[in-house]
Structure 1
Amino acid sequence: MTDPARTSRQLVLLLIAGGLASILTAWGFQLIGGYVPCKLCLEQRIPYYIGLPLAVLALVAMLRGTPAQGRLVVSVLLLAVAGVFAWGAGIGGYQAGAEWGFWAGPADCGGGGGMPDSAANMLNALRSTRVVSCTEASWRMFGLSFAGWNAVISAGIAVLALGAAWAWRRGSAA
């Protein structure tokens, strides 16, 4: 018979590893591969910046052998992680759908950075700024763009968080 608490910890470790691999891959494509992220691409990173620290907190609380009220905190943290990554999957799905032309993308997507402070800097900015549209996929693998893959990965992480919360509650009821 498997220990539900151990299963929960393993799921959280898998969730953290998968999330780190995903966000580091996104940063790698940007910094090493030269892919410039659009506005929605940057928004899809926010769940990683929120959800991964919450998952680490949940894991630390699990490893500390928390009392009954701490068990509730772990469950709430894991449900928050699931919610945050479900939100990320929604953003990724929205962008992937816009890329495929299923619906319109955001009207304010595709702009560059801040305003230049002089006319010379404005001309330099016009020559060097790459405007990235949220509705054009810059890369695809097996038919999915970065946004499509993020939707799949974020949904998977949300499912892992729900599974970890369920196993944790099951273990605390025993």
Structure 2
Amino acid sequence: MRYVALATAGHAGLLGGAFLFQLAGFAPCAMCLWQRWPHAAAILLGVAALAGLWPRAMAALAAAAALVTAGIGAFHAGVEQGWWEGPSSCTGGGAGLGGLSGADLLSTDAPVALVMCDEIVWQFGLTMAGWNAVLSLALAAVWLLAVRRLAA
């Protein structure tokens, strides 16, 4: 069960770190928010496993959640680097603005701190999304070790 506790703590650390970055003024984009949900799911699954509720099944589901957030993070990192297109809802150079009127374009009702998914707001070797992908893959490996140990 120590692998379950370690992985659960790892997800809590990553999710907590994301909120700390947000408190420090790094507003999240839509894809950043998408990456948080699987962390939250993994934490809940880890707590359930630690409580003895089908620990092997919970660990396997948490491994899947870690892989999901790693996948989203890898995709997001690629969007940030310009390797591929991201969702039109949070990336790009204005596609779809042709349908807006002058009043729409000048409106001050738009979100003040809109963060685009294809803009890098923080980088230390990798972007935040890249680090999420790498660390989440490591957590998926820990979850899979937990599944293996719980089977024995």
Question: TM-score interval w.r.t. the shorter chain?
Answer: 0.7 to 0.9
Choose which of 133, 142, 152 in structure 2 pairs with 1:160.
Answer: 142
* Structure 2 counterparts to residues 100-115 of structure 1, below 5 A: 100-109=81-90
Q: Which residue of structure 2 lines up, in the alignment, with residue 27 of structure 1? A: 19
Q: 1:37: how far off?
A: 0.3
Q: Deviations over 1:10-42 (max 9, x none)?
A: 1111111111111111001101x1111000000
Q: 1:129: how far off?
A: 0.4
* Separation of aligned partners in 2, 1:156 and 1:74: 20
Q: Which residue of structure 2 lines up, in the alignment, with residue 144 of structure 1? A: 126
* Separation of aligned partners in 2, 1:84 and 1:22: 13
Structure 1 residue ranges without an equivalent (≥5): 1-8, 62-69, 111-121
**Aligned amino acid, residue 148 of structure 1:** G
* Separation of aligned partners in 2, 1:74 and 1:18: 17
Taking only the aligned residue pairs, the percentage that are identical comes to 36
Q: Which residue of structure 2 lines up, in the alignment, with residue 64 of structure 1? A: none
* Separation of aligned partners in 2, 1:59 and 1:156: 20
* Separation of aligned partners in 1, 2:114 and 2:46: 35
* Separation of aligned partners in 1, 2:75 and 2:82: 11
Choose which of 18, 29, 49 in structure 1 pairs with 2:10.
Answer: 18
Q: Does the 8 Å CA contact 2:11/2:40 hold for their aligned counterparts? A: no
Q: State the SS of the aligned residue for 1:104.
A: coil
Structure 2 residue ranges without an equivalent (≥5): 92-106
Larger CA Rg, structure 1 vs 2: 1
Give the number of aligned pairs: 138
Q: 1:132: how far off?
A: 0.9
Q: 1:49: how far off?
A: 1.4
* Separation of aligned partners in 1, 2:22 and 2:120: 14
Q: Which residue of structure 1 lines up, in the alignment, with residue 73 of structure 2? A: 92
Q: Does 1:36 align with 2:27?
A: yes
* Separation of aligned partners in 2, 1:39 and 1:159: 27
Q: 1:51: how far off?
A: 1.1
> Structure 1 runs of 4+ off > 3 angstroms?
none
